[in-house]
């Protein structure tokens, strides 16, 4: 028999409403009392009030949640997110359900409550910097989820759709290394929580917590290690978020160094486009011939002549929703690795001769 709210109330010696407030109105309780209630709930295995049951008193809501670590506007402005969500929406419509966007850009306690209280039948964990806490909350609620970020500790029964980030990143970095580039900058967003814009000193890529960013930086590093360029010789640059403006701020001054990079490998097309903006704004006589690469192959990449890695955004979203709404009986079939392709355009070329 599943533990109930009343069982927690009896264990702590408080009323049912006090237990309910510990989840939905924590400001009504002292921190010590709330922790006693949550501790008793964990010990009993009680996952917390079911928002679905509270609101509709039925077994399903008819909505799936999409988690991402960013502002809500990101879902409507980031070109890859737009295409990914279009795929999710296509599958949701086919199954007669809806979609709830759950941005997690707030402090973790508030973000945690957003996941705890979202009235959904399951979650698509799209882009969460440190997703383990979110997965713990989802599991405690007993809801299914699909992740788009590969994790080393993921169980065989966990549903996943994504790409081999490291191998895909290595392919574009191998292309750049093959053109002779050795003074290289790696540009990524939110490399570390609250890290400032600009060059960032890290002893190694293992310090990067975000699984997607970690995979792409590791792939870049692998390719340059193959040609004798170690991690310490690469310039790591942090952008506070995945936007052209953030990328431009991050690389400001990078090309005025005595030995500027001859190539910039960006963790997304949006960041790469920001680098191209900076280069285009420089006077013609002070514009270094820098090779720039991106990742994703968003629509604007082609018009900008951007060398990048193509991944199927809409298919990724569609399959994520299908795995959530119509899970396969075979657990192995719930782990989908999508293909990628290196797309070479005019933004990359041989290293300039001294």
Q: Mean of the per-residue pLDDT values for the chain?
A: 89
Please report the pLDDT score of residue 141 as a whole number. Answer: 87
**HSE on the CB side for 63, CA within 13 Å?**
13
Question: Domain map of the chain by residue range?
Answer: 165-311
Lowest mean pLDDT among 128-132, 163-167, 217-221, 322-326: 128-132
What is the maximum alpha-carbon separation in the chain?
Answer: 78
Does residue 169 surpass a pLDDT of 60?
yes
What ranges in the chain are assigned the alpha helix state H?
5-12, 16-24, 31-44, 51-56, 74-77, 79-94, 108-117, 132-141, 165-178, 211-225, 244-251, 269-281, 299-303, 313-325
Summarize pLDDT for 35-45 with one digit per residue, the tens: 999 899 888 88
Q: Please state the CATH superfamily assignment of the domain spanning residues 165-311 in this structure.
A: Response regulator (3.40.50.2300)
**What is the 8-class DSSP label of residue 106?**
S
- Among 120-124, 284-288, 320-324, the range scoring the smallest mean pLDDT is 284-288
- pLDDT at site 217: 97
């Amino acid at each position: 028999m599943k533990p109930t709210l009343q069982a927690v109330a009896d264990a702590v010696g408080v009323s049912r409403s006090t237990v309910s407030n510990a989840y939905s109105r924590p400001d009504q309780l002292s921190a010590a009392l709330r922790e006693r209630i949550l501790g008793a709930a964990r010990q009993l295995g009680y996952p917390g009030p079911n928002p679905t049951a509270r609101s509709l008193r039925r077994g399903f809501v008819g909505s799936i949640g999409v988690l991402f670590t960013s502002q809500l506007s990101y879902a409507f402005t980031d070109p890859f997110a737009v295409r990914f969500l279009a795929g999710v929406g296509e599958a949701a419509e086919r199954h007669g359900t809806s979609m709830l966007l759950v941005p997690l850009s707030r402090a973790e306690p508030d973000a945690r409550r957003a996941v705890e209280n979202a009235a959904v039948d399951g979650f698509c964990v799209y882009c969460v910097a440190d997703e383990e806490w979110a997965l713990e909350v989802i599991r405690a609620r007993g809801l299914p989820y699909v992740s788009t970020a590969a994790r080393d500790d993921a169980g065989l029964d966990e549903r996943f759709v994504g790409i081999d980030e490291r191998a895909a990143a290595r392919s574009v970095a191998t292309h750049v290394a093959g053109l002779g580039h050795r003074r290289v900058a790696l540009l990524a967003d939110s490399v570390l929580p609250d890290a400032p814009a600009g060059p960032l000193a890290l002893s190694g890529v293992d310090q990067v917590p975000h699984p997607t960013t970690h995979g792409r930086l590791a792939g870049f590093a692998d390719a340059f290690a193959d040609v004798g360029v170690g991690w310490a010789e690469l310039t790591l640059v942090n952008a506070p978020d995945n936007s052209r403006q953030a990328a431009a701020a991050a690389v400001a001054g990078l090309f005025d160094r005595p030995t500027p990079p001859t190539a910039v490998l960006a963790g997304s097309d949006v960041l790469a486009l920001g680098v191209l903006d900076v280069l285009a704004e420089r006077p013609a006589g002070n514009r270094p011939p820098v090779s720039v690469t991106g990742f994703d192959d968003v629509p604007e990449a082609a018009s900008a002549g951007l060398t990048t890695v193509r991944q199927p955004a809409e298919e990724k979203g569609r399959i994520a929703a299908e795995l959530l709404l119509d899970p396969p009986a075979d657990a192995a079939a719930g782990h989908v690795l999508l293909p990628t392709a290196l797309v070479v355009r005019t933004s990359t070329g041989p290293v300039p001769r001294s």
